[in-house]
Amino acid sequence: MKTRVLTSILIFSMLMILFTACPYSSSVPLSNPDVEVDPSLYGKWLKEDPYSDFPKYYVFDKIDGKKFKVEQYEFNTTDSIYSVSGTYVCHFTQIGDITFANMHQDGMYYFYKIEFPSAEEFLLYEVTDNIDEVFNNSKEIYDFFKNHKDLSFFYNKEEEKYIYTPEE
């Protein structure tokens, strides 16, 4: 019985990993970096995850006031330490009342809707990867996002909540 339960949990976990979507990506950003980054954003942001003793976290560092470096850290169970699992250059694009993060890595931009309910937390929503359109310039993708940004199915279901954590 115990083996059956463990097998079921393992299969369920593998399916969750398999079906976890990635955000939409494009070779062009929504806009050039023109939104000033609030300096209080720089630092360590821990993912709120009640199911993990070692949740992932991000460290944001200033580049030039409109762009910032984002390092994603995940726990490596083999070495029992956190290590960098991704490095991005990020900037924000404001479309109406919605702020989007343009996260650039290896020639591609990944897009997230980002909300700041308070100075100590932010919510991240992945733009769905179900978008088939390919855009050749920022105006085309900006206009597409502007027309679809208020639709619930434009974002993947699960939001991620991050809490500001002072460096130790």
What confidence tier does 158 reach under pLDDT thresholds 50, 70, 90? confident
pTM above 0.95, yes or no: no
Task: Render pLDDT for 36-74 as a digit per residue (tens, 0 to 9).
Answer: 999 999 999 999 999 999 999 999 999 999 999 999 999
Residue 157 lies in a domain: yes
Residue 8 lies in a domain: no
CB 167 within 8 A of CB 61: no
Residue 29 lies in a domain: yes
Residue 6 lies in a domain: no
CATH number at residue 138: 2.40.128
State the DSSP code for 37. P
pLDDT at 114: 97
State the DSSP code for 134. -
Residue 1 lies in a domain: no
pLDDT at 21: 52
Residues in the chain, total: 168
- The domain in which residue 120 lies consists of 23-165
How many whole angstroms separate alpha carbon 153 and alpha carbon 133? 15
Residue 14 lies in a domain: no
Total structural domains within the chain: 1
Residue 17 lies in a domain: no
Residue 12 lies in a domain: no
